[in-house]
Structure 1
Amino acid sequence: MTTTTSSPIIILIAGHWLGAWAWDEVLEHLTTDHSRAIAMTLPGLDGDDPERASKTLDDQAAAILDVITQLGVSEDQPATLVAHSGANAPVSLVMDRYPELVHRVVWVDSGPVATGSVFAPNIPEELEELPLPSFDVLAQQASLEGLSAEVLERFRARAVPEPGPVLRQSVELTNDARRKVRTTLVCCSIPSAQVLDLARAGHAMFAEVANIEHLDVIDLPTGHWPMWSRPRDLAKAIQSAASRTN
């Protein structure tokens, strides 16, 4: 039987080009459910930071730990980390270094990375940052399903270029305890059955999923940015996952 906890601590972390603002609609529904939920902006994605282009994955992992510390998270009251898309690299680092502080990780159209992973190994060293590409190009890489013209306009206006060091850094993981962290996959642009098939087949993007010891999946059919296309349903899925104790 599944038991729940009434007021889970939930930290929302968006992927490339995005800050805490990306979760505004999801937070409206989560706070209605009386969760202790906050969204954070990773280092390198604060448009007002003059040094943001030099930030690394280590900087981002350290910032997540700072938020965890500020919220009073402990082994007795660990947090649920919600990682969308490219936030998977810094969150994987946090799980590797501090698995005891993570009650559950919820991957939103994303998943854990394997050690040695590099998001964009072929980008040149001289490239300081990667701006949001045109939506025609982006749509070849990730589904834009469910996003209105208004949402795309906001995405374009508020997107911050991704720091080059974040894209080039190799993720080095050493602690197998990260694989024991309870895990929920919220599958949006790729159905869960296909994700699990790819994991079992050893596909580079999904291979680490096969090593998770406590896994459940939620299908939320939409595009790669469900916080905008289905915010209420995503909030419900996050709340359900965060409240589970097994």
Structure 2
Amino acid sequence: MDILLIAGLWLDGSAWDEVVPELTALGHRPVALDLPGQGDGDTSATLADQVATVLAAVDAAPGKVLVVGHSAASNLAWLAADARPEKVAKVALVGGYPAADGSAYADFFAIEDGVMPFPGWAAFEGPDSADLDQPTRDRLAAGAHPVPEGVARGVLRLTDERRFDMPLLLVCPEYTPAQVKEWIAQGLSPELTQATRIEYADIDSGHWPMTTRPRELARILAEAADSARS
């Protein structure tokens, strides 16, 4: 099965470099997406541009796909399920969950000169970054791409209620499945509250398991693809 890999804020497709060969070895066809405005220097890119890139990849696949969204890009994966329910076999969300219709995509940090730069590691102290050594932090920060304002402050538009019946895997890195279930019960993600087919996978990592636990993450995603295919 084609597995579309969408990295979160500040990252390009190379974030999945260690996951891709593992997925290939497990019999799948991984496609790591480069999003407009994250790596190409296009500061005018919008959320609509990123959605269009994801949907083009979904449409180009020969069959149904597993769409994987990391962190804020969980929204992009969910938007793909909403727009292409007949083509998306399953969605996997790694370290994130979708916001509600009408919400901003990722208006989390300060905008400077039309972009949202990486805010530094102080913003992620604690479980998010506990498994990152200093060389890895330095490498990730050096490769971080400022996110265009039109992406960060873009508004989510969800229209097809069939998304709530989409098979959905929540991969839990810096938190546990039990914590996510509690957040859902509290109504912190109205989208997940209405979702009917949620599975959970725990992974002992921080917020970037594609960097620190690539083999384990690949195994989890391959199993999700296998279950969707069967």
Residues 74-123 of structure 1, C-alpha deviations (whole Å, 9 max, x = no match): xxx21000100011222222221111110000000112221111121885
CA distance in 1, matches of 2:23, 2:83: 28
- Is residue 63 from structure 1 mapped to residue 53 from structure 2 by the alignment? yes
Contact 2:75 2:97 in 1 (8 A): no
AA of the residue aligned to 2:191: E
Alignment correspondent of 2:22: 29
CA distance in 2, matches of 1:202, 1:56: 29
Alignment correspondent of 1:192: 177
Contact 1:199 1:207 in 2 (8 A): yes
Gaps of 5+ in 1: 1-7
Contact 1:200 1:207 in 2 (8 A): no
Alignment correspondent of 1:235: 218
CA RMSD of aligned residues (A): 1.8
Aligned-residue offset at 1:127: 4.2
Range with greater deviation from structure 2 (62-71 or 174-183): 62-71
* Secondary structure of the structure 1 residue equivalent to 2:31: strand
- Is residue 221 from structure 1 mapped to residue 204 from structure 2 by the alignment? yes
* Secondary structure of the structure 1 residue equivalent to 2:19: helix
Range with greater deviation from structure 2 (22-31 or 131-140): 131-140
Residue 166 (structure 2) aligned to one of 181, 194, 209? 181
* Secondary structure of the structure 2 residue equivalent to 1:116: coil
Question: Normalising by structure 1, what TM-score?
Answer: 0.87
CA distance in 1, matches of 2:187, 2:117: 31
Question: Normalising by structure 2, what TM-score?
Answer: 0.93
CA distance in 2, matches of 1:33, 1:91: 22
CA distance in 1, matches of 2:74, 2:159: 16
Contact 2:6 2:73 in 1 (8 A): yes
Q: Return closer, same or farther for 1:122/1:40 CA change in 2, 3 Å cut-off.
A: closer
Q: Return closer, same or farther for 1:127/1:89 CA change in 2, 3 Å cut-off.
A: farther
